[in-house]
Amino acid sequence: MDGTLLEAWASVKSYQRKDAKDAVPPDDPGNATVDFHGEKRSNQTHVSKTDPDAKMARKGKGKEAKLSYNGNLLVENRNGMIVNTEVFEANGTAERDAALAMLEQIPGTKQVTVGGDKAYDTADFVAECRNLKVTPHVAQNLERPGGSAIDARTTQHAGYAISQRKRKRIEECFGWLKTIALLRKVRHRGIFKVGWNVTFAAAAYNLVRMRNLAIQTT
């Protein structure tokens, strides 16, 4: 499982104060001149006027912030097929929240394992996974205050190393969805339409993946 930011179909100019009164700028109503210099903006005080579901987020330190959605995938590690998708608002807990939502939808009662990166190594997430009968094979974040939420009881098993190696396969899915399926910047507005678009693109990816697997076995 993993998540990524999907750039929203909304401009930075549309990101305005929630309490601002509508006013037509005198220079160009269609493409107004806006000066954001020195203005503090956050998702608590500002919202996009064209896509209110999009939130300002950045991929990492030093990166520019963009109006985005958080797209998430659950992929099985044997053949690299996408099992489930979720699109959440881009915030600090979206990836873990989406992961739990997808894990809850796994059918059956058999114990399963799930791989993930350091972002999933939190006590709450690990505990909830175990409540769902899911063994969390997440990368240890040893720099986290209090240490990693998983210990040698999990990491000593051979399956943990396999999950950590196989989890990187999900990046192939994201790469295809962003380049071939054109999801690097979504063409729809609103979280429900964006979610539908991601699910549709994931279905197309699976069809291509099944064709390639069939070719390999012949």
pLDDT at 1 over 70: yes
Class of residue 12 by CB neighbours under 10 A (exposed 0-12, middle 13-18, buried 19+): middle
Binned at pLDDT 50, 70 and 90, residue 63 comes out as confident
**Does position 23 have pLDDT exceeding 90, yes or no?**
no
Q: Which residue has the tokens 């769902």?
A: 132
Rounded to whole angstroms, the Cα distance separating 191 from 214 reads 35
Mean pLDDT on 60-67? 84
Torsion sign, CA atoms 177, 50, 64, 3: negative
| Tokens representing residue 48 in the block | 């996009």
Give the model's pLDDT for residue 217. Answer: 75
- Per-residue pLDDT for 114 more than 90? yes
What pLDDT was estimated at residue 196? 97
Which amino acid, residue 132?
Answer: L
Residues linked to residue 138 through DSSP beta bridges, in sequence order = 116
Assess contact for 87 and 54: CB atoms under 8 A.
Answer: no
pLDDT beyond 70 at 29: no
175 forms bridges with which residues in the sheet? none
* Cα diameter, the chain: 67
Picking from 95, 120, 81, 32, the residue whose alpha carbon sits closest to that of residue 202 is 81
Q: Where along the chain do its domains lie?
A: 1-10+71-218
Which among 32, 2, 33, 36 is positioned nearest to 17, based on CA atoms? 36
- 2 vs 57, 166, 212, CA distance in Å? 17, 12, 23
Q: 142 vs 192, which has greater pLDDT?
A: 192
User: Dihedral of CA 138/143/144/146: which sign?
Assistant: positive
| CATH of 1-10+71-218 given 2.60.40, 2.30.30, 3.30.420, 1.10.730 | 3.30.420
Please give the model's pTM, rounded to 2 decimal places.
Answer: 0.85
pLDDT single digits (tens) 144-174 = 888 899 988 889 999 999 999 999 999 999 9
Distances (CA, A) of 47 to 18, 53, 82: 6, 8, 32
CA gap 164, 155 in Å, rounded: 10
